[in-house]
Structures are given as C-alpha cells and as structure tokens.
Amino acid sequence: MIAGFDTFPDELRDTTEVTVECVSDETTPETCGRWEETFEVGTPEAIMMDAHGLLHFDGLPTECPECGNYVLLAYNGVEVFKEP
Ligand SMILES: [Zn+2]
C-alpha cells in the first residue's frame, strides 16, 4: 500500500526523466539513505495515480538496490511512503 496523494504531484507531471532516491527517516532508520539514480521512462503515462490516490511507477525501481529499502523512496523529490 502506497500512501495516497490528493493531487498528482507537479514534480512528476509530464516528465520522462525521474530521479529516484533512497530516503531514510525515523520509519526507516536502517537504510543507506543516499542511493540516487536518474532513470528515463518511455512515456509520462508510466507514472500514474489511480482512483485511490496511489502512485504507480511502470519501469522504475520501487526499492533501493543498495539496501533494499522499499518503504520510503523519493521520485523527483516527491517522497512516496509504502507500508512495510
Ligand atoms: Zn538505500
């Protein structure tokens, strides 16, 4: 379950270049907290928000390859929290 958004984040609108970052905070203290990589996605539609306000990322990593953190990642600076 990914935390819901009220509106589609502007940072992810009409973009095909997405920087994914590993973010650590008090909910994910064990993460590396620094992995960052920029990815190209084929179309802006690869990033979608569904009727429940949940973001879906087609073709983008949803966990950190360094430490395996999948709870809190940032996409173009937009922090996306996923229930452990
Ligand atoms: Zn990490």
* pLDDT string in tens for the chain (84-residue length): 455 799 999 999 999 999 999 998 888 888 998 999 999 999 999 999 988 888 999 999 999 999 999 999 999 999 998 876
Residue 24 CA to ligand 1 centre (angstroms): 8
Model-level pTM?
0.89
Residue 32 CA to ligand 1 centre (angstroms): 4
Residue 61 CA to ligand 1 centre (angstroms): 12
Rounded to whole angstroms, how far apart are CA atoms 20 and 79? 10
- Residue 46 sits at φ, ψ, to 5 deg, of -65, -25
**Per-position b or e across 44-77, b if 16+ CB within 10 A of its CB:** eebbebeeeeebebeebbeebeebebebbbebbe
Residue type, 81: F
Residue 8 CA to ligand 1 centre (angstroms): 25
Rounded to whole angstroms, how far apart are CA atoms 65 and 49? 24
